[in-house]
Amino acid sequence: MVVLEAAEEGGFVVKCVELPVASQGETKEEALKNIKEAIEGYLEVKAELLGKRVKGERVEVVVEAPPTLMA
């Protein structure tokens, strides 16, 4: 799960609740694209550090903000 917030200086800040990952973007769409890339990068590095290869099936997860965040 991620939390998307308007930044005081403009644009948006998005934080992953489960991982120590955050990103930003000028638009909501850009911020969500950037956090997805940041999470993927974090998980790739974590897997390398653990010396394990990621096993299993790669599954794409689409994150949609609840309507209350879109207002």
CA 64 to chain centre: 12
Q: Are 34 and 24 in contact (CB under 8 A)?
A: yes
Q: In degrees to the nearest 10, what's the CA dihedral of 33, 65, 16, 41?
A: -20
Specify the length of the chain in residues.
71
Q: What is the pLDDT along the chain (71 residues), one digit of tens a residue?
A: 999 999 999 999 999 999 999 999 999 999 999 999 999 999 988 888 877 665 677 778 787 777 776 65
pTM of the model: 0.69
Q: What gap in Å lies between CA 13 and CA 24, rounded to an integer? A: 4
Between β-strands 12-16 and 2-6, what pairing exists: parallel, antiparallel or unpaired? antiparallel
Structure tokens at 12: 């948006």
